[in-house]
Structure 1
Amino acid sequence: MQSQKNDFRHVNYSWDDAVADELTELESLVYRSNILGADQRITNTGGGNTSAKLMEIDPLTGENVEVLWVKGSGGDLRTAKAENFSSLYQGKLEALDETYQKQPETGYKSAGEDAMIGMYKHCNFCLNPRASSIDTPLHSMIADKHVDHLHPNAVIAVASCKDQESLTETIWGGKMAYVPWMRPGWEAAKVCEQAYADKPDSVGILLGQHGHTNWNSESKSCYETSLWVIETAARYIEQHDKGEMTFGGPKVSSLADAERTELLAKFLPVARGLLSNKVKFIATVQTDENALRFVNSVDAPRLAKLGTSCPDHFLRTKIQPLYVDFDPQQDDFDTLVTKLKAGIEQYRIDYTEYYKNCKRDDSPAMRDPSPTVILIPGVGIIGWGKNKSESRVTTEFYNCAIEVMRGAEAISEYTALPQQEAFDIEYWALEEAKLQRMPKEAPLARDVVVVIGAGDGIGKETAFRVAKEGAHVVCADLRFEAAQKTADELTAIYGQGIGVAGTGISGCGPAIAQDVDITNRESVAKMFEQITLAYGGIDKVIVTAGVFLAPGQAGMSNDQMFDISFSVNVKGGYIVGTEANQIWKAQGLTGAMVLTTSVNAAVSKKGSLAYDTSKAAANHLVRELAVELSPLVNVNGLAPATVVKGSTMFPRDRVIASLSKYNVEFSESDSDDELRDKLAGFYAQRTLTKKPITPADQAEAAYLLVSGQLSKTTGQIISVDGGLHEAFLR
């Protein structure tokens, strides 16, 4: 298909000859894959695959051989690199057909269908370790050099219509072949091979309920053909769009933004607690116009019940979402919660029945029967997953499902996969094997950990420590820029959370930044509201923020120093604890809180009266909160000795004053770090271990207190001071 950039309105034309002409054939395949995957209207995250049959030199014989390069299992087109592609001898793949034909038949699939996946390893070129996709034979059996297999919303919409075959002929003018739904694999590839042979003038195949495959002899032309197939379908849908009567028109009115935010902040922790009866979930909220148009509509209950169509969708979204029959103009919050509870209970019953009715002798055990997508009229869509990335993709996939239903209902009538077919995909042995190959979840992988004071020092080190254990980290600080810097550093290490453009799906990943003044309840409440909207709730809260005011240092009276010290070091922890407790109680899930106090709380000395007494009060606050927040939440204290490194409590002038006070030699030309090291070394000699106390030492203790390893410990103060015998318990 010869196309120009301005021919497309519903997809992005991104091919750049100046870039592509400088690439090798394999690099061109990667380039094509990346620009296809970059447009969510072309294919969903992790979905689809691309291939090219290239001539390579056999390392054993030195001869030229044809090699199929195809995106491997578990890869994503948008981010794929050359190493994400499998490479297989095309001749050996073709020879495997004889092996397949010898397999015995069963009632629903060739017994050897799944076993064929293991045979692909024998075809690997150059010992390429990348696992082959289930769609490998499809790419092999299409004779053209370049093949794209994609899952565009517009095409799946056609493929999900009750009259999908006749629409294929109408929409693409006879240029697309048609194959009804078949589970991906060798058998489906054979049917596509026959369709390719029977319609030699076709440029692609519509795959019922699934997507499409197209081909060409040139990489650029294959890319343009992919875009033409999608654009043609999208324009046909656009011509038949029902406008205000999409999905039968509106039934419920949306809440105003402020009202919706207030409701979600209260609702999400409740929903998280109800869903997390086996394991905890992380939420992603979608509240854009398209989502609200669907959930508010007359047809939403009917279409939601039918479930999704494309296999890629319901592997994330389950067979169907949970639709909550709620009208915010008539029902109050308590009614919403009551309906949610009843809905989740019934969903679990229905899902269990679905499993019992569809399971086969060799089916894997039933997974968690809780819904992963919740639809609430007037409010939006909430997706759930084991982490933020999974919940975001789940929400993205249901957004795709909505677009599929919209298109199908515009041009015909939407149909979903039969339940048995859906089950055979959801509980496919190959999918189960993928799950089993997944690395073990990190200890805090499903936890939201709020670190207050994360801009530097102990707080920053603690944020890094819990992130290392898989936590979703909220980096909070009075100084937003410092909090953002920590969050950015964590994101650079653990990955970028990306929102889906134009969907209203929130885009936060393993770390976000929040500014907060812990002496101000309104500020703390706002912080927790934002955290709840981002992740659905909280699990652990670690407060490292504090203030040290020495006489003469701040130019204020003793009374003022007392007011500020107690406001930050005591009242701040109290405000954070009581605000967090509202979320913990709503969730009904166990949590943990750590307040940073000081060994100074137990040691009377001269020069830090306000600080030391405030920390003594903070020690008792730990005990009081442990009582108040029990039995759900463990509250403990972390009591450091003097931590100089990285602490804002030790600016250069204070370090110099302390060095002078203790007659420790230094030079005015010493750097800040050199001065701090000298002071830390002096303090170390006063301890039993003779080692400087670092932020990392405190972070390790903070992690231990929230890790669950000390789940029976609460109301305790853990000293991390190198062994100050003056601070021993008396």
Structure 2
Amino acid sequence: MSTSLAKDQRVNNLWDDSVASKLTGVDRLVYRSNCLGSDLRITNTGGGNTSSKLTETDPLTGEEVEVLWVKGSGGDLRTSKSENFASLYMDKLLGLREYYNGQADRGPKTPVEDSMVGQFPHCTFNLNPRASSIDTPLHGFLPQKHIDHMHPNSVISIAASRRSKELTQEIFGDKIGWVPWLRPGFELGLMMQQAHEADPTLDGLVMGQHGLINWAEDDKECYELTLKLIDQAADFIESKDKGADTFGGQKYDTLSDEKRDATLVEILPWLRGQVSQQKRFVGTLQSDTTILRFVNSHDAQRLAELGTSCPDHFLRTKIKPLYVDWNPQTESTADLKAKLAAGLEQYRKDYAAYYEACKHDNSPAMRDPNPTVVLIPGIGMIAWGKNKSESRVTAEFYNCAVEVMRGAEAMDEYISLPQQEAFDIEYWLLEEAKLKRMPPAKELASKIVLVVGAGSGIGKQIAHRLASEGAHIVCADLNAEMAEATANELTEKYGQGIGVSGTGISGCGPAIGLSVNITDRESIREALQQTLLAYGGLDHLVVTAGVFLPPSRDGKLSDDAWKLTFDVNVRGSYNLVDEARSLFEEQDLEGSIVLTTSVNAAVAKKGSVAYDTSKAAANHLVRELAIEMAPLMRVNAIAPATVIAGSTMFPRDRVISSLTKYDIPFEESESDDALQDKLAEFYAQRTLTKRPIRTEDQAEAAWFLLSDASSKTTGQIINVDGGLHEAFLR
């Protein structure tokens, strides 16, 4: 067994004197915070607090005053900037202790203690709008200039061990003290102050069931002390590591990648529908060796049932995960589904019982009783969240919980937070108030949309429009590179989310790109499988893929061209809906399908007989599918007129051919854009609105048909043609 960590296992020391020396004041605090937050072994996403007590100039008096700069409510250390830190006059903050001591019912979990958060704004320095966090007293009541409060797995393992206090002494000696669990707030700050006053030589404290807080007079020294303590704890854990006997040793074998994916594809739509009964979830899958070592072990069920310890963990993962005791070698997928169904039913009952046993008279209403973490032997973990970013972070947090359990079991015995304490954090009125302050989610924030034809033109514009409303976009196109380019644009614009790579967690963000041939059912099935493995389900389908094959100079179209036109424009859309049908039915969540036809379906004209008749057939396909897919899925279509700009259906040769056909003057030297503008303007003048039709216009109509604004609309074709009266219904 190893007695010390290898160099590449230690937390990352990112401090660079050449960078830090150029910074002053709060900028150095931001720098230190970003360094700490960049390593998940130091603290969780969104977790941890840092602070510095700095000398500032009072904007009213011009005098020098001491100001506490501390990470504000809701910030993330890895990405924080100066505006994410609250600032408070130290003298006013310390003065709150006298105010608090004068209240009759002061003490842990009392309304008075909670009300102290409302007093922090009276201490605000320089009208800083950033709200102070509940951890502010932990930083303000300790005298040192610089303080780090982190949630490292190694130290939480100590904090969540039955012999936590004794282990703290054994590992750190007399330089690090210990305080028992107490919910963060004013009382915990006072407890820490008293611990320091009792022993001023302390460099920090292990917080029972919670984490680590340490301090120094120099910010670099504080940062390096944080890293030293984390590595010291990790060294001790590794010296006690049980190797192959970790978590009681292996009980189940891992499925092959192929068998795992096939099993997931079979259960995910149904499972997503089950956990999304109150609100929709987006999934993240994890099947790396770390999580499999846990879920495949003898102790996994016992430890999972205990739940998590650190409040930061269970606020994301709920009080416990759903562990399914399924044997991947001897039991079938049908057996797994049956065990999941029974497990979900019992989980909801357990959660309701937990709520009823622990609630107070003023507790918020019971939240969604479905699990956010599902553990399956042989497969791994499925984490759920309101969007991909949140589900990735949920997975990240349960990984941290697993590492805490590993460390605690190696040293001693893992213990979880008592249920009442867990409930009082989960249903804390201050947390409820924070949730209510959050802006409302965008309409498509929890929705997964497959856009076929997203590589260019109307499909690409629709993908961008839906992503702006929070949708997760599966960009599919016959051209894989173009599909991936659109997905990359969306990811760059809307971000990977706050999950961190390198954790073994599924890495996709708000969009993925993939290839699909809608005339090939196997290709469609592969695209749907990739969608399920990326996000866990599918809510909406948009099809913009189409083909226009011009006739030869004598006006003829070959039999192959006729067949391809109908294969793509009619049968392709049917294939997509037909292959997705069982997925939608298993998921049992209402959704919408939007196909793309054309106003040419209603307007007879020379030179496009195959295209026009295929679009007429597609119009009726919409009506037929609306009947077949009701009431679960709505089916509608947009019918564009000629969209020139941004369309791959109008290459330069076709534009020139059309300009020649309509006797529109042009020069061969003119650019593609100039030629397209001339043709678009010609078509615009044939409409009632006299305005060119754009891809953006089609995207707005598609958005409407996917949104709740059209929730009573199905079987309809919406013309987006600028008012082409020849296409009016007759």
* 1:360 maps onto 2:360 in alignment: yes
1:518 maps to what in 2? 518
Q: Which deviates more, 329-338 or 53-62?
A: 329-338
Deviation at 1:171, TM superposition (A): 0.6
Q: Structure 1 pair 412/556, CA: closer, same or farther in 2 (3 Å)? A: farther
Render the CA deviation track for 1:396-448: whole Å, top value 9, x for unaligned.
10110000000000000000011000000000011001110111111111110
Residue in structure 2 matched with residue 172 of structure 1 by the alignment: 172
Greater mean deviation of Cα atoms: 667-676 or 637-646: 667-676
Q: Matched residues in 2 for 1:691 and 1:35: separation?
A: 54
Give the counterpart letter for 1:701 in structure 2. A
Residue aligning to 2:329: 329
Question: For 1:257-406, what aligned pairs fall within 5 Å after superposition?
Answer: 257-406=257-406
User: Residues 644 and 470 from structure 1, CA distance in 2 versus in 1: closer, same or farther, beyond 3 angstroms?
Assistant: same
Cα distance in 2 for partners of 1:617, 1:290 equals 53
Q: What is residue 467 of structure 2 aligned with on the other side?
A: 467
> CA 1:290–1:555 in 2, change beyond 3 Å: closer, same or farther?
farther
Q: Structure 1 pair 452/565, CA: closer, same or farther in 2 (3 Å)?
A: same
Contact 2:463 2:473 in 1 (8 A): yes
1:543 paired to 2:543? yes
Going from structure 1 to structure 2, the CA distance change for 1:36 and 1:556 (only over 3 Å counts) comes to farther
- Distance of 1:18 and 1:466 partners within structure 2: 44
Find the aligned partners of 1:477 and 1:246 in 2 and give their Cα distance.
Answer: 46
Q: AA paired with 1:718?
A: I
1:106 deviation in Å? 6.9
Structure-2 separation of matches of 1:152 and 1:6: 18
Aligned pair in 2 of structure 1 residues 536, 8: CA closer, same or farther (>3 Å)?
Answer: closer
- Alpha-carbon distance between aligned partners in 2 of 1:248 and 1:300, rounded to the nearest angstrom: 9
Q: Distance in 1 between matches of 2:241 and 2:503?
A: 19
1:560 is displaced (CA, Å) by: 2.0
How do residues 30-429 of structure 1 correspond to structure 2 at under 5 angstroms?
30-105=30-105, 109-429=109-429
Q: Report the Cα distance in structure 2 between the residues aligned to 1:266 and 1:219, rounded to whole angstroms.
A: 53
Asked whether 1:605 is paired with 2:605, we answer yes
Confirm or deny: 8 A CA contact 1:594 1:636 kept in the other structure: yes
Mapped partners of 1:466, 1:397: distance in 2 = 29
> Is 1:578 paired with 2:553?
no
For residues 19-67 of structure 1, give each alpha carbon's deviation from its aligned partner in whole angstroms, at most 9, with x where no partner exists: 1111113211111100110000000000001011110000111111111
Aligned partner of residue 710 in structure 2, secondary structure: coil
One-letter amino acid matched to 1:80: S
Contact 2:477 2:514 in 1 (8 A): yes
Q: Distance in 1 between matches of 2:462 and 2:391?
A: 25
Give the structure-2-normalised TM-score: 0.97
Which deviates the most, 557-566 or 693-702?
557-566
Change in Cα spacing, 1:702 to 1:501, as seen in structure 2 (3 Å) is: closer
- Summarize deviations over 1:476-501 as a string: whole Å, max 9, x none: 11222222222222223322246544
Q: Is the 8 A contact 1:158 1:408 kept in 2?
A: yes
**What is the root-mean-square deviation in Å for CA atoms of aligned residues?**
1.7
SS at 1:114 equivalent: helix
Pairwise CA distance, 1:317: 0.7
CA distance in 2, matches of 1:390, 1:666: 54
Contact (CA 8 Å) 1:637, 1:718: kept in 2 or not?
Answer: yes
Distance 1:49 1:334 in 2: 46
Q: Distance in 2 between matches of 1:562 and 1:7?
A: 66
Instruction: Using the TM superposition, give the Cα deviation of residue 638 of structure 1 relative to its aligned residue in structure 2, in angstroms.
Output: 1.4
Task: For 1:719 and 1:696, locate their aligned partners in 2 and report how far apart those are by CA, in whole Å.
Answer: 14
Identity fraction in percent: 62
SS at match of 2:370: coil
**CA deviation after TM superposition for structure 1 residue 557, in Å:** 5.2
How far did residue 260 of structure 1 move? 0.4
Matched residue, 1:490: 490
Tell me the CA shift for residue 653 of structure 1: 1.3
Partner of 1:452: 452
| Alpha-carbon distance in structure 2 between the residues aligned to 1:395 and 1:331 | 26
Query: Structure 1 150/607 Cα, relative in aligned 2: closer, same or farther at 3 Å?
Result: same
**Kept in 2: contact 1:484–1:514 (CA 8 A):** yes
Amino acid corresponding to residue 362 of structure 1 in structure 2: N
More divergent stretch after superposition (582-591 vs 178-187): 582-591
Name the amino acid aligned to 1:63: E
Residue matched to 1:566: 566
Between 122-131 and 550-559, report the one with greater CA deviation.
550-559
TM-superposed deviation, 1:628: 2.5
Unpaired segments ≥5 residues, structure 1 = none
Equivalent residue for 2:640?
Answer: 640
Amino acid at match of 1:543: V
Please say if residues 601 and 616 of structure 1, whose CA atoms lie closer than 8 Å, have aligned partners that are also in contact: yes
1:104 touches 1:111 (CA, 8 Å); kept in 2?
no
CA distance in 1, matches of 2:627, 2:9: 62
Equivalent-residue separation in structure 1 for 2:116 and 2:604 (angstroms): 75
Structure 2 residue matching 1:692: 3-state secondary structure: coil
**Would the alpha carbon gap of residues 124 and 245 (structure 1) be closer, same or farther in structure 2, given more than 3 Å must change?**
same
Whether contact under 8 Å (2:164, 2:208) holds in the other structure is yes
CA contact (8 A) 2:107 2:113 kept: no
Distance 1:7 1:449, change over 3 A: closer
Structure 1 residues 200 and 542, CA gap change in structure 2 (3 angstroms):
same
* CA distance in 1: counterparts of 2:103 and 2:703, whole angstroms: 54
Q: Given the superposition, is the C-alpha separation of residues 426 and 652 from structure 1 closer, same or farther in structure 2, using an over 3 Å criterion?
A: same
Q: What residue is the counterpart of 1:478 in the other structure?
A: 478
Which whole-Å CA distance do the structure 1 matches of 2:234 and 2:145 have between them?
27
Give the match's secondary structure for 2:121.
helix
Is it true that 1:430 corresponds to 2:430 in the alignment? yes
Runs of 4+, deviation exceeding 6 Å: 5-8, 553-556
Q: CA deviation at 1:330?
A: 1.5
Distance in 1 of aligned mates of 2:553 and 2:374:
55
Which secondary structure state, in structure 2, belongs to the residue aligned with residue 354 of structure 1? helix
Q: Secondary structure at the match of 2:570?
A: helix
Greater shift in the superposed pair: 221-230 or 448-457 = 448-457
Q: Which amino acid aligns with 2:527?
A: M
Look up the match of 1:656.
656
Distance 1:719 1:27 in 2: 55
Q: What's the secondary structure of 1:486's corresponding residue?
A: helix
**Contact 1:497-1:507 at 8 Å conserved across structures:** no
Partner of 1:689: 689
Residue 528 of structure 1 deviates from its aligned partner by 1.0
8 Å Cα contact 2:389-2:496 kept in structure 1: no
Deviations 1:503-523 (A, max 9, x none): 321122222212212122111
* Separation in 2, partners of 1:6, 1:62: 52
Supply the distance in 2 between the matched residues of 1:142 and 1:39 (Cα, whole angstroms).
26
Cα deviations across residues 323-382 of structure 1 (Å, max 9, x unaligned)?
111111121111111111111111111111111110111111111111111111111111
Q: Could you tell me whether the CA contact under 8 Å between 1:103 and 1:110 is conserved in 2?
A: no
Partner of 1:729: helix, strand, or coil? coil
Bigger drift between 180-189 and 704-713 goes to 704-713
Shift in Å at residue 6 of structure 1?
9.3
Q: How many equivalent residue pairs? A: 726
CA 1:345 to 1:686, structure 2 compared with 1: closer, same or farther past 3 Å?
same
Matched AA of 1:363:
S
- The answer on whether the counterparts of 1:636 and 1:717 sit within 8 Å (CA) in structure 2 is yes
Distance 1:435 1:498 in 2: 18
Q: Is the 8 A contact 2:684 2:691 kept in 1?
A: yes
Contiguous gaps of at least 5 residues in structure 2: none
**Mapped contact 2:455–2:485 kept (Cα < 8 A):** yes
